[in-house]
């Protein structure tokens, strides 16, 4: 690309100061009011950099709003002011699933209850193995990662066969502790 090209020179823009800038609307300030501050829909003021910063710091967006309006604003700001719906609640479906509407199943082969019980058993077994792991390590589920690691190290030192003189019950306990820690580690708890 040639820097002295006539096309390159034409795309450059320069900020030109407009003539006749207003002075700062703050009393006792003679600086130029470069920044616009909207007081309400019909009224604007012009401030210098120092006073616009002060104006912005003290600006109260919620002035003139009732508490209910403020709460509504805060709740809708969570979703970016977009409408939201609950999952699978559509006026056309009336809460029924896709399978209930499309499949004629007189012998109940594709029943939701039949599949959900299997899923729940898998979830419960996974959940129970994690809760068993917490029980083996003698901690609760709200323990931090660092505390889990420290408790694991403490129990390994306590039940290690080199320290306890080859006690078979301690070796089994140590295996359970290691398996519990690995279970928690694979589940993302530590």
**Per-domain residue ranges of the chain:** 21-84, 123-186
Give me the phi and psi of 108, to 5 degrees please.
60, 40
Bridge partners, 35 (sequence order): 47
Share of the chain above pLDDT 70, in %: 67
Write the pLDDT tens digit of every residue in 11-29. 656 655 555 678 999 888 9
Which is more confidently placed, 139 or 114?
A: 139
CATH code of domain 123-186? 1.10.287
Q: What is the mean pLDDT of the chain?
A: 77
In this predicted structure, the answer to whether residue 99 has a pLDDT above a threshold of 50 is no
- pLDDT value for 1: 59
Give me the phi and psi of 162, to 5 degrees please.
-65, -30
Share of the chain above pLDDT 90, in %: 17
Write the pLDDT tens digit of every residue in 36-51. 988 877 889 999 999 9
Residue 23 makes CB contacts below 8 A (sequence gap 6+) with 29, 30, 31, 32, 33, 46
DSSP characters over the chain: --TT-HHHHHH-----PPSSPPBPSSTT--SB--EEEESSSS-EEEE-HHHHHHHHHH--TTTT--HHHHHHHHHHHHTTT-----TT--TTTTT--HHHHH---TT-TT-HHHHHHHHHHHHHHHHHHHHHHHHHTT--TT--HHHHHHHHHHHHHHH-HHHHTS-HHHHHHHHHHHHHHHHHHHTT--
How would residue 77 be classed by pLDDT, with cut points 50, 70 and 90? confident
- pLDDT value for 49: 93
- pLDDT value for 14: 60
Which is more confidently placed, 165 or 76?
A: 76
In this predicted structure, the answer to whether residue 65 has a pLDDT above a threshold of 50 is yes
- How far is C-alpha 105 from the geometric centre of its chain's CA atoms? 41
Residue located via tokens 């530590």: 190
Write the pLDDT tens digit of every residue in 124-154. 555 578 888 888 888 887 888 899 999 999 9
């Amino acid at each position: 690309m040639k820097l002295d090209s006539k096309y390159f020179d034409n795309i450059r823009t320069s900020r030109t100061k407009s003539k006749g800038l207003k002075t700062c609307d703050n009393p006792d300030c003679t600086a130029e009011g470069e920044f616009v501050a909207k007081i309400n829909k019909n009224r604007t003021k012009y401030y210098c950099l120092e006073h616009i910063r002060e104006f912005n710091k003290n600006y109260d967006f919620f002035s003139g709003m009732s508490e209910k309006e403020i709460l509504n604003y805060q709740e809708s700001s969570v979703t970016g002011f977009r409408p939201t719906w609950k999952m699978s609640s559509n006026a056309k479906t009336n809460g029924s699933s896709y399978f209930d509407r499309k499949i004629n199943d007189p012998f109940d082969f594709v029943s939701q209850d039949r599949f959900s019980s299997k899923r729940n058993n898998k979830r419960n077994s996974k959940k129970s193995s994690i809760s068993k792991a917490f029980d083996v390590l003698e901690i609760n589920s709200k323990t931090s990662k660092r505390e889990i690691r420290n408790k694991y190290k403490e129990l390994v030192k306590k039940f290690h066969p080199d320290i306890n003189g080859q006690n078979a019950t301690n070796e089994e306990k140590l295996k359970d502790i290691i398996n519990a820690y690995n279970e928690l580690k694979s589940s993302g708890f530590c």
